[in-house]
Chains A and B, each alone.
Chain A
Amino acid sequence: MTAFDEMSVDGQKLRSAYARVKSWLDGTDPKTLKRHSAEAEMLFRRIGITFAVYGEADAEERLIPFDLIPRILAHDEWERMREGLTQRVRTLNMFLADIYTARECIKAGIVPADLIDANPQYRPEMIGTRLPGDIWVNIAGIDVVRVDPETFYVLEDNARTPSGVSYMLENREVMMRIAPELFYEHAVEPVDNYADELLQALQSVAPEGVKKDPTCALLTPGPFNSAYYEHSFLADKLGIELVEGRDLFVRDATVYMRTTLGPQRVDVIYRRIDDDFIDPLAFKPESILGVPGLMTAYKAGNVTLANAVGTGISDDKAIYTYMPDLTRFYLGEDPILKNVPTWRCREPEALSYVLDHLPDLVVKEVAGSGGYGMLVGPKATKDEIEIFRAKLKANPDEFIAQPTLALSTCPTFVGEGVAPRHVDLRPFVLSGRNGVSIVPGGLTRVALKEGSLVVNSSQGGGTKDTWVLAP
């Protein structure tokens, strides 16, 4: 299976967006690249950009490897993607507003009722709730992969607490420090305004009747969370308090933070804690990360949570398969970004096809994430395939299957030279009362192992700076 390389087609024809990077690579010897690489690593380590890998006690803080060769998107490629992403996120928001109120998509037979009602990510607590601006997913991370010059697929919608945006911003900072000459030769669209856009989006959804300068705070599980660096980074860029559950309390259905000046009201909470943990009175009672009574204040409309409670239903892998239909249903438009062709194993015909073709397919748990709980057929051993076959037969509802995609590759610095490696892209899509906004770019993740298709940082993936060229 040959993958489409974003720099040159068939290793021959150079694609124009990469022309200057190609000559930069040709004119720079591997030793210099290696030195740049080491410089970049030192910068990241000093700034403290680390992440924790769950289940690795001795590796409390690790760096995500950074690849210094940028991934480049031409202006028109990006424009089409931007339109597609906007459409996708509008659909997500309309779907969520619908299933918690009128349930039109179920009545119209687009989505089966049991996929919603029996889904643990569906939060009955939210039924009947209207949110400011009808926005449920204020911040979305949409994972996009490319298989040829024309085709981008949405691989996954992340509508809960998507992370990675700090890498998008820091990768650009580091890139500008180590290869300033490349920026002279390219007109690269800036990404620095992300924090401003995010703050505007958050402030725009403050509860009705709040003074014109609403107080926002970022709620983190704390320094032991794998994405803590990102939480502190964002709070700093936004100029809002980074709070833990114990810094907040609820009185008279209103949220306050404990300060040196006494209690201060909080209007909008950008929360980076999962639904299950935000309020021990409403959800997991043993959670010490959350704020007792938060749901009461939320339901009373006295505080806005971003993202809303209950968005997990929309990025579920089972719901994913209905997204193209939902776009047509709510917007009356054809989807600009395609879904990866997907077999729903809950449907008997699909299941029997999947069981017959396991060695060629990627099988994913509907509820899984982070590259865990999946089978990559072509890379799996016979035993692994048999284990999955048994799982599939026992609980077909819990799985979907997709063809193994030839993800596009980008030139990547490995060891002593440059070689193609598979990539994906996570752009960050913001929604507020004033509409949808997306900074040009996103987080490119790269599978550093030769031939590997798994880009997750927890599984040895790295990142790249992502450039969108100005027109």
Chain B
Amino acid sequence: MLLSRTADSLFWTARYIERAESTARLLEAATRLSNVRSGEGEPSNEWESAVLATGMEKLFEDRYGEANARTVVDFLAFSEANPSSIRSCLEAARANARSVRTAITIEMWETINAAWLELKRYRTYGQSRAELLEFLRFVKQVALSVDGIAHRTMLRTDGFSFFQLGGAIERADNTARILDVKYHVLLPKGDRVGGGLDYFQWTSILRSVSALTAYHWVYRESLKPWLVADLLILNEAMPRSLSSCYGNITRDLDKLSKTYGKQGKAQRMARAIHSDFRNRKVESIFQSGLHEFVEDFIARNNTLGATIAEQYLFE
């Protein structure tokens, strides 16, 4: 049994940490891609798609206009006006953790608090590319530490389940958004085999969810766009795939229903989504439309988040 507010804060602490890490990966991938000039066809702007992948494009356009290395790094990493910037996420994670100091372990608190203190060291403007990459590395390290500490130090009670749920729902959302922005580079283009730029685009998708090496281990063949989609959507072994996230979500919700002795809408909804993935083949997703599939998923994932909040009285 937990205070509803505590469950809510644990859920969101995990979400914000996850979001900070995901944004750091997006920026890394964009930095890498921007080294390559777009060759043929429409000019691709990696910075723009990084903003699109966070779903914050409207706020960005209002404040900056043009998407380039400087504006997007500022917006996604440091801006206080962007509630999903890395800075805002780490601040929000800390505020949430602080309001439930008693529900997290001292190690967890010290790590999140130290990250927040460390954040002040990083400058918004005028940093070199090396400094930026150093910052992004720091953010990823924080997320890894928080995850490891959760596993090593937190009691396996309902609080842990809510923490895990927040992380998994956010992770699924982030993977889906990257697919949503990039789905077009994965679509078949008649007979033409992808050129160098396509190849680079596909690897950048994989990199943004740190799955490039995983791809080769799983499929043992050269990059194929439909296999990239398969890996990110359906492969249970891939920790950032939608299906794997839903495996975890179902497990944690089931654990909660066992602890509390009752099932609810959230449990049924999560199981339905998960079994959808298990019965799907990637070919059928492409047939019915990758874009529609991903958009539909993002909406269902959001609804599940809201249903959990409702069922456990967060609001």
Contact = CB atoms under 8 A, between A and B. Distances in A.
Size category of the binding interface on chain B? 20 to 34
- Determine which residue in A48, A243, A244, A246 has the highest number of CB atoms from chain B within 10 A of its CB, and name it: A48
A48 B109 contact: yes
B5 interface: yes
Interface string A34-72: 000000000001111000000000000000000000000
Interface of A: 45-48, 222-223, 228-229, 232-233, 235-236, 241-244, 246-247, 257-262, 264
B213 interface: no
Given A222-B99, A232-B102, A259 B114 contact: no
Dominant secondary structure of chain A at its interface with chain B? mixed
Interface of B: 1-7, 95, 98-102, 106, 109-110, 113-114, 117, 158, 162, 256, 260, 312-313
Contacts of A232: 98, 101-102
Dominant secondary structure of chain B at its interface with chain A? helix
17 contacts: A45-B117, A46-B110, A47-B106, A48-B98, A48-B113, A223-B99, A228-B98, A232-B98, A235-B101, A236-B102, A244-B5, A258-B4, A258-B313, A259-B2, A259-B3, A260-B2, A260-B158
Contacts of A258: 3-5, 313
A453 B98 CA distance: 34
A109 to B, nearest CB: 49
Contacts of B100: 242
B239 to A, nearest CB: 27
Nearest to A246: B5
Nearest to B101: A232
When A and B form their complex, which 5 residue pairs have the shortest distance between CB atoms, in order from nearest?
A232-B101, A236-B102, A260-B312, A261-B1, A258-B4
Given A45-B117, A47-B110, A48-B109, A260 B101 contact: no
B99 A260 contact: no
Given A236-B102, A242-B101, A46 B3 contact: no
B112 to A, nearest CB: 9
- Determine which residue in B101, B110, B256, B260 has the highest number of CB atoms from chain A within 10 A of its CB, and name it: B101
Contact of B102 (A242, A247, A259, A262): A242
A258 B2 CA distance: 8
B98 A223 contact: yes
- Determine which residue in B5, B109, B113, B312 has the highest number of CB atoms from chain A within 10 A of its CB, and name it: B5
A259 B4 contact: yes
A260 B102 contact: no
Contact of A264 (B1, B5, B95): B1
